[in-house]
Amino acid sequence: MMLDLSVPSQLMTAFAPDILLMTGAMILLLWSAWRPESEALQRSIGIASIILCVTVAVTIGFYIARADKVSSGVIAVDNFRWTADIVFLVATIGTIALSMDYNARMRITAAESHVLVLFATAGMMTLAAARDLMIVFLGIEIMSVAVYVLTGLNRRSARAAEGAIKYFLLGAFSTGFLLYGIALVYGATGSTNLAIIGERVHQLQAGGTALLAVGIALLLIGFGFKVALAPFHMWAPDVYEGAPTPITAYMAAAVKAAAFAGFLRVWLEAFSAAASVWHGPVWWLAVATMVVGNLVALAQKNIKRMLAYSSIAHAGYILVAIAIGTPAASAAFMFYLLAYTIATLGAFGVIIAIERAGEAGLDIEDYSGLWSVRPWLAGAMAIFMLALLGFPIFGGLGFFAKYWIIQSALQAPSPQTKLAIILVLTSLVSAGYYLYVVMVMFMRPRSPDALPVAALGNWTRFVIGASAVLILALGVLPNSVVRWAQKSQPVAPVRPAPVVVAPAAPITR
């Protein structure tokens, strides 16, 4: 079926999953606002939010089965959008499931926290669908405003307040770069539609104009802040450490995945013909991000800060796929996002199991001898650390994700051999902090003064167990995921040949 987005009813049809999620979130917001705060209410809203996410996922499955297509318009109807939406919804379900047990333990009774996660996810889905720079901006802001509030959700924590204000100020600062970049790109091409921008850059060879080059640079800076690329990453460690741990997992997985999904679509659809302008800066940003993230992570003693710098390093790995800019790289990009999201949710689930009120239990040394008291928890954490490392046996899904990006770099029309080598070397550096956590859990004795590990809530146990099983199962049998990722490439517009305008014939009398 071909959808015509110029017809309002068909535009609404193409946007139906996003509208369903937003409408459900508004209903749940009214429900939570009209009832007094309590643990029972926040659990009820959490369960209803999970049911809503599953309903939206089923709706997306229906769209995939229908194979709707659209030739042009302000939103995309392609497998890249639907695949990204599924990744966001998986991360959202995991976050809400972890939050229900975490909020009860930390005495956070605001049921609106689950609704804010839904609103942020709606912004992510809008961002993944955007084929217009104004829709890109709208999606980013819907997502960001909700996450700003979620960061400072724990009003008893000074670190949460500090993280929220830093995130808000730097987020607003980066939005200025993004908007100014959009304005300059519009000035250079006369449009904010990605397909039209791409055609005009291709036909008019506008990639060499100073106006467009500055616009692309400002957009790159804006996206760099959103995905925490070095040197635009300084907000991430403090925000990740201060935010409630389920929200940290959400930011590390879903928020980063959404920003990268928008980043990739804009770069492939609008600026692929201007690669001479942006390839060099993106190349160096990828290198700097991989090096800084891994080296600084080695020095961290707090496990949330360590995973924050680990997240920065993974942003560098994902940026390699954008620097390559081929269809194979975009498929590898989606495969990597899925593997990273599952491993991140599982790792933060274990952190929630160990963490105690007052931000206790967040030092890596608190995991000493975990194998002796909670062997299955230590085993699951080892799987997640090895998956993030890219170890080929346990956590094989992470190994295949990195391998595919490296393969895409080496097989590109202009092979990115140096970038692939740097990715491998920095991944080896990451073994220093991932394997250190494994060593502490399995090879150090449990201190008599160590905090006791309380019984896990059912939802936390479910997220940890499901993440570990998925990583192992998909790592052993990755073919189905590979085929799924190969179908999730953004549909780039067809570039017509450059139009040569002949000079007008002289008028004779």
What pLDDT is stored for residue 141 in this prediction? 92
> Two tokens at 345?
């949710």
- Give 469's contacts (C-beta < 8 A, 6+ positions apart): none
Beta bridge partners of 360: 356
CA atoms of 296 and 169, how far apart (whole Å): 24
8-state DSSP, 412: S
- Cα distances from 200 to residues 52, 235, 273, in angstroms, run 41, 36, 9
What pLDDT is stored for residue 293 in this prediction? 92
SS3 363: strand
CA atoms of 496 and 122, how far apart (whole Å): 34
What pLDDT is stored for residue 357 in this prediction? 64
8-state DSSP, 253: I
CA atoms of 437 and 303, how far apart (whole Å): 9
* pLDDT per 10-residue tile (average), the chain, 509 residues: 70 85 93 85 92 90 70 77 90 93 83 92 92 92 92 82 88 90 91 88 70 91 90 87 90 91 88 84 92 92 90 90 77 83 91 76 83 89 90 69 81 81 90 92 81 80 91 77 68 42 39
- H/E segment holding residue 280: helix 275-297
What pLDDT is stored for residue 200 in this prediction? 86
CA atoms of 81 and 75, how far apart (whole Å): 9
Question: 467-483: b or e for each residue (b if 16 or more CB lie within 10 Å)?
Answer: bbebbbebbeebeebee
- Give 345's contacts (C-beta < 8 A, 6+ positions apart): 90, 91, 94, 95, 98, 249, 253, 463, 467
Phi, psi of 356, rounded to the nearest 5 degrees: -125, 165
- Cα distances from 209 to residues 132, 204, 216, in angstroms, run 21, 10, 11
What pLDDT is stored for residue 71 in this prediction? 55
What pLDDT is stored for residue 181 in this prediction? 93
Query: Residue 396 corresponds to which amino acid?
Result: G
8-state DSSP, 252: I
Task: Answer whether 236's CB lies under 8 Å from 170's CB.
Answer: no
